[in-house]
């Protein structure tokens, strides 16, 4: 598919997106989500009807944030953060005062 | 009158005059929760002991002659389970955060504590605030006290149902696309989405950061205003917080309650009505507009032609932000980690699969798609332009009117299970509430009677420009006073009695 035909998404594409998003979805979910996402994309593709590049409203600036803000700085002062104990209190696994994580690289690496 | 039936303002008066103790007030609400929450399921966590302890501190201070810490000191409140609390779990309605005890309080939590408000517990919600019915909570749905076979709205269905079930006179919600206002409409309660940046997001677990806004929920407009002034205002810990005084909403409510709206221009939004709107909801809404006119308001029709693209833009912007924000749930530092994967990446994918529910997964996948190279311009980029067009529509409408009005939601509360497997049908609930989130302006829902076909509450939405809350509250209060004067009893007191278990 291409960006010219929004509103059509394949099961394979959903599987690829789920991998990118680190979701180990099941086959059943793939079947379900592919159909549902196709319907949703068909509806949201309407945004392309307005403000299309080259159209009258093509030069509309995008809004990423409702309230116009310039950079916000705080004073560069030391202040207490979480203690090591607090930071690790809800960790799934901790060892020697550090987060214990599974191996970062897979077998093939 | 039973303590649980009182408004927060009336209860506070009794507590501050020492007619009732804060502990008695807390206990009455804890007893009510014990009696009805088995049916309603508004709460995910009830903090009975902590609530009584906090209330006893308020009593001790008042007994010692110290003035109340705030106008609501000693009044119980139900807190949406998306704000961090250092002494209670914070789950966001998700299995991925089951049992999580945050190491810090949200600013909203801290301000409630400082005001002497008794936090009764944490309320149920759609997982990470994604949903319009509270059926996407991983811990089971909340039921609407008006009809327990129906949804209470969402995502803040727990907070709204707690109010309508008289389990708490005050609650806190969050509104990303209508999650305070739509449940308020469905339960006959009042819900306010403040101007974006009006209430700190520090410690509010993010759904879509550019849209999320915490706000007050109550049974009366005055109670919402009192709570608004406590939780609102600048917070250096939230860099998008507005550095300006909180609008004087309590004063505005007192002015509005006198019932004179002469000189106020009310704009009826032409595009928010008609097809897709339940006839009884539209009739209740039109009667509300007539009532505003009788109070002296000048009613004009305004057109916001780009609102019809609001839903589409929202369901691209929100999932995009969600896909990024929820990447933090990686099974490494806190939250769930499932066994089975060999590498960190596998553990992450298996944990997120097990810990997230279907709606969260759908939106993460949709957002990942919308932000993908090749689709970004067609989807996310276009949606951001629509956001500009909607903000311009509002700006033009506010040239003609001081506040805008519409029905809050297109329908009354629908039966449980009706839309849970049809995401697009669920999204349509947010049709009338989404434009204000995209533009970052203020809006509220005030109950406007019962729809004649099903006898369930409908909501009047009142919208105001950024930081224009005072005018909005004034109109809401005037409407509420006129409505209650015409009816025999306030609308909320007409909730059918719930079966009580002892």
Span B127-146, pLDDT tens digits: 999 999 999 999 999 999 99
Closest residue on chain A to B238 (Cα) = A72
Does B343 sit within 8 Å of A102, measured CB to CB? Answer: yes
- The 3 state secondary structure assigned to B124-161 is CCCHHHCCCCCCCCCCCCCCECCECCECCCCCCHHHHH
Residues B431 and B276: beta-carbon distance below 8 Å: yes
pLDDT band at A58 (very low <50, low <70, confident <90, very high): low
Beta-carbon count within 10 A of A55 CB: 11
> Residues 12..41 of A with a Cβ closer than 8 Å to B: which?
13-14, 17-26, 29, 32-33, 36-37, 39-41
Q: What percent of chain A has pLDDT over 90?
A: 59
Q: What is the distance between the alpha carbons of residues B119 and B101, in angstroms, rounded to a whole number?
A: 16
Q: Across the strands, what pairs with A95?
A: A98
Nearest to B342 among A6, A20, A107 (CB): A107
Per the listing, tokens 């810490």 go with: B69
CATH fold label, A11-51? Histone, subunit A (1.10.20)
Q: Domains of chain A: which residue ranges?
A: 11-51
CA dist list (Å): B40 to A85, B6, B146, B147, B418: 38, 20, 10, 10, 18
The shortest C-alpha distance from B26 to chain A (Å) reads: 30
Per-residue confidence at A5, pLDDT binned at 50, 70, 90?
very low
How many Cα atoms occupy the beta-carbon half-sphere of A65 within 13 Å? 10
- Model pTM greater than 0.95? yes
Q: What is the mean pLDDT of residues B88-103?
A: 97
Average pLDDT score over residue span B34-51 = 98
Region of B325 please: left (phi>0), alpha (psi -120 to 50) or beta: alpha
Tell me: pLDDT of B243 over 70: yes
Which of residues 163 through 182 in chain B touch A, CB cutoff 8 A? Answer: none
**C-alpha angle B406/B159/B175, rounded to 5°?**
45
Above 70 in pLDDT, residue B336? yes
Judged by CB atoms closer than 8 Å, whether chains meet at B101 and A90 is answered as yes
A70 touches B at CB < 8 Å: no
pLDDT tens sequence across B294-319 = 999 999 999 999 999 999 999 999 99
Q: What percent of chain B has pLDDT over 70?
A: 100
Radius of gyration of chain A (CA): 23
With a pLDDT cut of 90, the percent of chain B lying above it is 95
Decide if the complex's ipTM is over 0.90.
Answer: yes
Helix (H, G, I), strand (E, B) or coil at B218: strand
HSE-up of residue A46 (Cα within 13 Å, Cβ side)? 14
Task: State the average pLDDT over residues B172-198.
Answer: 98
- Beta-carbon pairs below 8 A across chains A and B: 201
Q: For residue B395, what pLDDT is reported? A: 97
Sequence-ordered list of residues with C-beta below 8 angstroms from that of B495, at least 6 positions apart, any chain: B145, B146, B164, B165, B166, B188
Flag whether pLDDT at B329 surpasses 90: yes
Please tell me which of the candidates A9, A67, A89 has its beta carbon nearest to residue B242. Answer: A67
Please indicate whether, in this complex, the C-beta atoms of A23 and B369 are within 8 angstroms of each other.
no
DSSP-derived 3-state class of residue B14: helix
For residue B174, list its beta bridge partners: B214
- Reference B109, options B144, B72, B138, B82; nearest CA is B82
Q: Would you call B369 and A49 a contact, using CB atoms and an 8 Å cutoff?
A: no
What is the average per-residue pLDDT within B229-247? 96
Chain A residue with CA closest to B316: the answer is: A44
| Contact yes or no for B88/B45 (Cβ under 8 A) | yes
Strands (E), chain A: 94-95, 98-99
Binned at pLDDT 50, 70 and 90, residue A4 comes out as very low
């Amino acid at each position: 598919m291409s960006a010219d035909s929004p509103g059509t998404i394949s099961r394979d594409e959903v599987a690829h997106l789920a991998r990118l998003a680190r979701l180990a979805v099941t086959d059943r979910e793939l079947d379900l989500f592919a159909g549902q996402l196709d319907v949703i994309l068909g509806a949201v593709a309407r945004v392309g009807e307005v403000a299309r590049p080259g159209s009258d409203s093509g030069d509309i600036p995008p809004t990423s944030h409702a309230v116009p803000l310039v950079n916000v700085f705080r004073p560069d002062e030391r202040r207490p953060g979480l203690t090591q104990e607090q930071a690790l209190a809800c960790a799934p696994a901790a060892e020697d005062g550090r987060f214990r994580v599974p191996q970062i690289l897979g077998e093939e690496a | 009158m039973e303590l649980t039936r009182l408004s927060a303002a009336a209860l506070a008066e009794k507590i501050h005059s020492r007619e009732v103790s804060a502990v008695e007030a807390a206990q009455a609400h804890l007893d009510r929760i014990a009696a009805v929450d088995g049916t309603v399921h508004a709460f995910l966590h009830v903090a009975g002991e902590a609530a009584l302890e906090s209330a006893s501190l308020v009593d001790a201070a008042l007994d010692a002659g110290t003035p109340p810490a705030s106008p609501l000191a000693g009044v119980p409140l139900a807190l949406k389970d998306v704000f961090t609390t250092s002494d209670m779990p914070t789950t966001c309605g998700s299995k991925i955060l089951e049992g999580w005890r945050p190491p810090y309080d949200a600013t909203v939590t801290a301000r409630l504590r400082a005001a002497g408000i008794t936090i009764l517990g944490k309320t149920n919600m759609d997982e990470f605030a994604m949903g319009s019915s509270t059926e996407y909570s991983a811990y089971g749905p909340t039921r609407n006290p008006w009809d327990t076979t129906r949804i209470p709205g969402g995502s803040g269905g727990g907070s709204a149902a707690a109010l309508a079930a008289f389990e708490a006179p005050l609650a806190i919600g969050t509104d990303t696309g209508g999650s305070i206002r739509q449940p308020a409409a469905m339960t006959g309660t009042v819900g306010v989405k403040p101007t974006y940046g009006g209430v700190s997001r520090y410690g509010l677990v993010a759904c879509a950061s550019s849209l999320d806004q915490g706000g007050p929920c109550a049974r009366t407009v005055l109670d919402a205003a009192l709570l608004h002034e406590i939780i609102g205002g600048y917070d250096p810990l939230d860099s998008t917080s507005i550095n300006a005084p909180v609008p004087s909403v309590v004063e505005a409510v007192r002015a509005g309650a006198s019932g004179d709206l002469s000189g106020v221009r009310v704009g009826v939004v032409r595009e928010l009505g008609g097809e897709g709107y339940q006839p009884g909801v539209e009739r209740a809404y039109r009667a509300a507009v007539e009532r505003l006119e009788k109070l002296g308001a000048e009613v004009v029709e305004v057109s916001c032609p780009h609102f019809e693209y609001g839903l589409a833009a929202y369901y691209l912007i929100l999932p995009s932000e969600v896909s990024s924000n929820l990447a933090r749930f990686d099974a490494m530092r806190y939250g769930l980690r499932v066994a089975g994967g060999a590498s960190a990446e596998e553990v992450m994918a298996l944990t997120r699969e097990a810990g997230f529910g279907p709606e969260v997964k759908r939106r993460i996948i949709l957002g990942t798609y919308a932000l993908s190279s090749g689709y970004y311009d067609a989807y996310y980029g276009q949606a951001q332009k629509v956001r500009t067009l909607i903000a311009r529509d509002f700006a033009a409408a506010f040239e003609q009117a001081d506040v805008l009005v519409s029905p809050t939601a297109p329908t009354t509360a629908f039966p449980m299970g009706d839309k849970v497997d049809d995401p697009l049908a669920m999204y349509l609930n947010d049709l009338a509430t989404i434009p204000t989130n995209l533009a970052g302006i203020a809006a509220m829902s005030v109950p406007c009677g019962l729809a004649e076909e099903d006898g369930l509450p409908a909501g009047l939405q009142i919208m105001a420009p950024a930081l224009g809350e005072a005018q909005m509250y004034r109109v809401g209060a005037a409407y509420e006073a006129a409505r209650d004067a015409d009816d025999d009893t306030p609308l909320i007191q007409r909730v059918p009695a719930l079966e009580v278990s002892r």
